[in-house]
Amino acid sequence: MQFKSRVKGVKLLGYERELVGRGELTDVTHDGASAVWLSAESAEEEQMRTLVYRPMGDAELSHLLTHGELPDTQPYQTIVRGAEGRQYAEKYLRGAKWVDSSPTTVVEFVCPSELIEELFVMQCKPEDGALSHGLGDKGGHGLPKFNESLRAGTSRYRIVLVKRGPNARPRSR
């Protein structure tokens, strides 16, 4: 699929072009923007399922897309739940929050509510109106349980927001 960027010098990654081509992401870039913005609506809430969100950089996302699980490279690996969680995760792409992993993408995970409750009992903290759990070693240590659910197919994920700027060096996937 050919993507015509509204921002000079921006090239999407292969999987981003595919998601736009399939209509799973929509170009919501405004006139005069310095980056391309691709977005999808949040999933509908399902009975016994909870939506959680995670901002991530290209390396972490590439690992997720390739291996179907999160890498153990991030010390905190925050997930935030619900609509408030998505708003919080998007702050990292919109410049209101900062982290050194250079987030370009917000990923939505649809997980069994029982798993998310278990993780948030292990460790939870308020984050600007949202509740977060740190999956990593400096958080609640929930990464093995979370990845097990991804591998088993009881949790699933999809990309819901991408910010691709002209300075990024996209790697094909």
Q: Enter the tokens of residue 97.
A: 């929050």
pLDDT at 45: 86
For 167, counting Cβ atoms within 10 Å of its Cβ (0-12 exposed, 13-18 middle, 19+ buried), the class is exposed
Q: Residue 55: count other Cβ atoms within 10 Å of its Cβ.
A: 27
The answer to whether position 23 is within a domain reads: no
pLDDT at 91: 95
The total of structural domains in the chain comes to 1
The answer to whether position 3 is within a domain reads: no
pLDDT at 8: 82
Q: Enter the tokens of residue 67.
A: 């291996």
pLDDT at 38: 96
pLDDT at 2: 60
pLDDT at 147: 98
For residue 157, how far is the Cα from the chain centroid?
9
pLDDT at 170: 47
Residues in the chain predicted with pLDDT less than 70, given as ranges, are: 1-2, 96, 100-101, 167-173
The answer to whether position 68 is within a domain reads: yes
Host domain of residue 123: 41-160
59 contacts 104 by C-beta, under 8 angstroms: no
Side chain identity at residue 45, one-letter code: E
Domain with residue 108: its CATH number is 3.20.170
The answer to whether position 33 is within a domain reads: no
The answer to whether position 15 is within a domain reads: no
The answer to whether position 131 is within a domain reads: yes
